[in-house]
Structure 1
């Protein structure tokens, strides 16, 4: 770490914000969590509780529920869902911190965010997930070779602040990747979420676990994912990660089998379905609506809607 201790504000004390807080605190950073309501009260009284190897542990964290404009941080991580990102940025508009890292999906581009916080914006995407049950964080880590925090300047340049952020991640031993086209990466990721998670919601309600395990549900994901990937390609978006290009060449039957296997995992049954029912639908709906706007702006109509 540099001689000057980096100050980091994590705006949002949900799963992602809590996980970054733990890792960065353990690495010696000066971390503050911004939380509200019951979450703020719980963090003040009990610390940041998390489950590790079957044991509930707690780590003390500085937590605030109001932010002064002159309370300046080296980096502010915005770790809220996409449907709450704009309101979070509006809350940070007048704060004088120079680097605002948006750790969330984005299916339309950055113009509205830039209107709020200007060139302080640094788009990113988190490298892990999980859930919070009864105030305790249950982390979900995938192999580092598969998932890493992605970030990068909108113009693809490797600037000084990119290098400084990379040093933070190296110090905290968090896997990361610097992207040259974060818009393409985030739109591609949004497409995957819309196709996979959107299929779990039908007729204004979350589908039941039995229906989620069927070949019919898997085929819906297959068809939707291929259609959206073709659509964003027509809109000039480079599919990233490039391995997803293979989806367009893969026979539907093989993708069906893959998604059937995924739909039957404990992660989907115990985490994604309950989380989607409680929180995620609003995010997926806004991602989907904004993706349609993006495609329309680029004179592309997804065959999903044709």
Structure 2
């Protein structure tokens, strides 16, 4: 029932967002970034943020638990797209233009890690670096920053016992199937039960208290169990088609000099592809276990609403790509 309500709210929100022209998002991107930062601070306040499984990532509202990290992802995409439109030459030609957005990225990352939300931090950093790379930053600059962030990530895993435990457990979950490898072994059992065509909708056994977080982090495992290999490949192809289309529109927008729209298309594509890769890879044992939703599939109001609104923005932008580029201030 909650998910049905979220679907209605998300659809209504997306319909409203679709009516707003892209120029509005370009001009107000910095406002959404400030709102996202404020929410990330508020969620850390004791008594305000809701703690679940040791992580304080949600702000309880009337009908939904707001997850600021989802707002931060969308805000960062819009802000970076606007920044890259205004400072495209500076980003390509100097360290200054490249470092400025990295400062914003650092602030968001620190706030996300304080929750802690390592998965969202990885997606945010990956999306931002991907957008900067596609904007044409110098390869040497990009490589130095990417290697630096990678080393920081490795250090955070190595010096955090629970993250290191997860990393070691996913390599051989059957070595400790009732403790550190419990989630992954149960997920793999779900895949095994699905076989070619699945056990049928609603017939999953693993979601009956065997597989933790079956409706959120491991929803793809249940999908694989109920629809089998055929259903799993089908869902993967749908995501590939959506992401490919977004990248196609990014190139199309760039060809008609609509750089803001081009960067937004690319940012949404990068964000979705990162989440899909991590969520599906984690469920199949290709990546360490990490709490991350599968876009538009996992239960969760914040993720569903934000994702549909981003897609509504992208859909509205497809209407604008055949029109002349309006004059927008570079500063």
Q: Normalized against structure 2, the TM-score is what?
A: 0.31
Normalized per residue, which structure has more strand?
1
Normalized per residue, which structure has more helix?
2
Q: Which has the higher contact order (CA 8 A, sep 6+)?
A: 2
Q: Normalized against structure 1, the TM-score is what?
A: 0.33
